[in-house]
Amino acid sequence: MKGIILAGGTGTRLYPMTSILNKHLLPIYDKPMIYYPMSVLMLAGIKDILIISTPEDTPNFQQMLGDGERYGIHLSYEVQPSPDGLAQAFIVGEKFIGDEPVAMILGDNLFYGSGLSERLKRAVDNAKRGKATVFGSLVKDPERFGVIEFDEKWSVVSIEEKPKKARSNFAATGLYFYDNRVVSFAKKVKPSWRNELEITDVNNMYLANGDLEAIPFSRGFTWMDMGTPESMAEASEFIRSVERQHGLKIACLEEIAYRNGWIGREALEPYAKKWENNDYGRYLLRILDSKVR
């Protein structure tokens, strides 16, 4: 299965921080923002990942993450000339996707909570069986999002993009799993009133075929869009609080790779020792010493 991180855009909501730097490279507490969505794909068991960004920013991602060997995965890069909607990612990434199912996550999304790995596995299984999966999270202002309407059995009734009057308080998050039909579906999408290729239109194609499942996140699960100064600060404080309380790092890519068996001690130890003078390196050394479970 393939994975895509959409990390383009102009970052206008974060100006002037983004005047010379892509927002997905900005820090969220102790890691670059892109580490958080990348960790979700890795937790889903996805080892072949495409990062889509702007012509100006793609070299910076390549310099920071390389080809993924450090994490036991393979990273590729493609340029999105202009941000023309989320569904465009599957057109840009068509060659990368090939004939496999694919997951896409937005580069400014944070997911954290008990049962995440189980939900991701369910979505992977759905994609391999020819179904699509989206995730719903309760929000107080659903009109800002794609809104998922459920029936009494938690089956999807409708998905509507930024409705004037929301039919539920469940927002569709920026994480999607699809079978290989998503490429052909994306090509059928017509530009919306915003002149964008809306991902909601793709989801409604799957819904019309009876092939869409929406998995709700329960109370206590955290989903954040880190695209504003306020949400970046809130996400940083959330990460800081959880890490300090439990002594475990969120979205530590080397740890995920090590625990997945994608890299061994011989690969992790030199990197950990290189950074042993900071908290991140010392944390990796603790993992090698089996002091972190």
User: What is the spatial distance between Cα 269 and Cα 261, in angstroms, rounded to a whole number?
Assistant: 14
User: What is the spatial distance between Cα 176 and Cα 103, in angstroms, rounded to a whole number?
Assistant: 6
Q: Output phi, psi for 254, to 5 deg.
A: -65, -40
User: What is the spatial distance between Cα 108 and Cα 37, in angstroms, rounded to a whole number?
Assistant: 7
pLDDT digits (tens, 9 = 90+) for 46-59: 999 999 999 999 99
Q: What is the pLDDT of residue 195?
A: 83
pLDDT digits (tens, 9 = 90+) for 65-112: 999 999 999 999 999 988 889 999 999 999 999 999 999 999 999 999
Checking if the pLDDT of 131 tops 70, the result is yes
Residue 5, exposed/middle/buried by CB under 10 A (0-12, 13-18, 19+)?
buried
Q: What is the average pLDDT across 254-273?
A: 96
Mean pLDDT of the chain: 94
CATH architecture of 2-133+173-262: Alpha-Beta Complex (3.90)
What is the three-class DSSP state of 235? helix
Share above pLDDT 90 across residues of the chain, in percent, rounded to a whole number: 83
- The CA-atom distances, in angstroms, between 56 and each of 106, 139, 272 are 19, 34, 31
User: What is the spatial distance between Cα 70 and Cα 68, in angstroms, rounded to a whole number?
Assistant: 5
Show me where the domains of the chain are located.
2-133+173-262, 264-293
